[in-house]
Amino acid sequence: MTHRVDFHDLPGIDPESLQPIDIDALAGPNTSRHAPRILILYRSLRSRPYSRSVAEEAARLLRWFGCEVRLFDPSGLPLPDAAEPDHPHVQALRELAMWSEGMVWVSPERHGAMTGIMKTQIDWIPLSLGGVRPTQGKTLAVMEVSGGSQSFNAVNQLRILGRWMRMVTIPNQSSVPKAFGEFDEDGRMQDSPLYRRVVDGCEELVKFTWLMRDGSDYLTRSYSERVESAEETSRRVNQVAH
């Protein structure tokens, strides 16, 4: 059973305006009704990074919307190609990617781009794993934090990566500039138009996940893959015995 966060855990929320997801408007009578499974990736290894604070706030909101949420801690994750895929942290990340039905990626912007730690996590998730595409057809929300004025460099780069990973990236996104002024002493994001965009992104992600997940295999099954599959079958059936 998914833990449902109450409004005491969301002090910045207007209870009259936050509405539960109307599942019947998005899912048919014969579609899955289990809680949407959402994986959150964030960037920083610092003890209290703003990206982690946004990720944790997104987790609270997603749980309120009825999701099962996991956050991946990037501490100890090796650089791509610096370790084998059976490294325990790599295995943990890949297992979570397979488990998930949607993701949230939260990155700081550093030198006008996403951070290397964020890219490392995504690089360890392969396009294909054991004949299964762990990200294809899954939903994605992108968010960023920065210390300076508002920028959308990181979220734009994350969108490009999401498209490359064949994910369905939702239209909404969140960019939190001057992050040092948006959080209280406990690391909680304070109510503001920027916080409301984080809420918007979480709500939209849940809606798209309910809408997409049972049909994602059909929606993303492509002609080129069917042709390749037919060729492989033909070679196997027609191979000459020696």
CATH of the domain at 75: 3.40.50.360
Query: How confident is the model over 205-222, as pLDDT tens digits?
Result: 999 999 999 988 888 888
Work out the average pLDDT over 76-87: 94
Residue 221 in domain: yes
Cα(143)–Cα(16) distance, rounded to whole angstroms? 25
1 belongs to a structural domain: no
Number of domains observed in the structure of the chain: 1
Examine residue 111 and state whether it is found in any structural domain, yes or no: yes
pLDDT recorded at residue 231: 64
- Say if 15 falls within a structural domain: yes
Average pLDDT over residues 76-88: 94
Q: State pLDDT tens for residues 156-206.
A: 999 999 999 999 999 999 999 999 888 888 888 989 999 999 999 999 999
Q: Which domain holds residue 125?
A: 7-238
- Please tell me the distance from the alpha carbon of residue 21 to that of residue 23, in angstroms, as a whole number: 6
Q: What is the mean pLDDT of the chain?
A: 89
Confidence tier at 45 by pLDDT (50, 70, 90): low
Q: Quick check: 60 pLDDT over 90?
A: yes
pLDDT for the residue 164: 94
Tokens at residue 42, please? 């964030």
